[in-house]
Amino acid sequence: MVKEMRSAIREEIQEVRRDITALEQQVTDLEADCIQASQAADNATSRQGTVLLDLRRQDEDLDNHGAILGENAPDTYNIERAHRALRPPRNDGLPRDIVCCLLAFHLKEAIMRAARPQAITFMDAQVSLFQDLSPLMLEARRALSPLTRLLQDRRIPYKWGYPFSLQGRKDNTWRMLRLPTDVPGFLRALDLPAVAISNWILIGPPQQPADPARPLSPGNRGGRPLRRGGPDAPEE
């Protein structure tokens, strides 16, 4: 009798454990969905934004707006907002980045494409342009940097997708990953060795430091030069 009761209790405990495990997985999936939705919303608001680096305060009265697009430059630019990055001044004296949101997405894309292969100098200062990205997107790209370096070393074309994905091409077929759980299949599809990738969804965006350093730009990881098909590739 006692043995039967113990067996029944043990089975009930196992059933409760299975239910808890299933609930934990559901909560994890819901958290991932919420983060993805939040990331998509953040990127939707910054998709038309451009970040300008190293523009000094005394250079803000710009009158050479056609220097990048040349003869294709429009007469006017419809800008929704433009402001310095919303954080305290840097202790090293370098200027804060400027975030500029253009109302016309195609114009922003034209500027980014034209600026990619050329160095931009204004009043003896070199200015860099990067796509404005949400903190979650930056954290995901930072976590995937070992994989993108591997793709570069193997000369495998890749690009970033919208709202977030990493796509690599092999045998004229694009493979895509969106979540940390997609990494193993992505590596197998591209015939790549195993590489350690942090779970960027669990990590979350970095906390704002007391003396914030320059944000990690999508095309400037680890001092590598910008190049076609790299992290600065246009989003599609």
- pLDDT, tens digit, for every residue of 10-49? 888 988 998 898 888 888 778 777 766 666 665 555 544 4
Q: In this structure, is residue 151 part of a structural domain?
A: yes
pLDDT of residue 236: 39
Asked if residue 128 lies in contact with residue 52, where contact means CB atoms within 8 angstroms, the answer is: yes
The model's pLDDT over 217-233, given as tens digits with 9 standing for 90+, comes to 444 333 333 333 333 44
At 61, list the tokens.
């009265």
Average pLDDT over residues 49-76: 55
Task: Tell me if 183 is assigned to some domain.
Answer: yes
For residues 124 and 150, membership in a common domain is answered with no
Q: What is the CATH number of the domain that holds 60?
A: 3.30.70.1820
Maximal C-alpha separation, the chain: 92
Q: How confident is the model at residue 72 (pLDDT cuts 50, 70, 90)?
A: low
Answer yes or no: is pLDDT of 76 > 90. Answer: no
Same domain, 107 and 159: no
**What's the rounded Cα separation, in Å, for the pair 90 and 19?**
51
State whether residue 47 is helix, strand or coil. Answer: coil
Within a domain: 191? yes
Indicate yes or no: pTM above 0.75.
no
Q: Which of 131, 148, 166 is the last residue of a domain?
A: 131
Residue 212 structural domain? 135-223
Domain count for the chain: 2
Asked if residue 218 is part of any domain, the answer here is yes
Cα→Cα distances 95→145, 188, 230, Å? 26, 43, 26
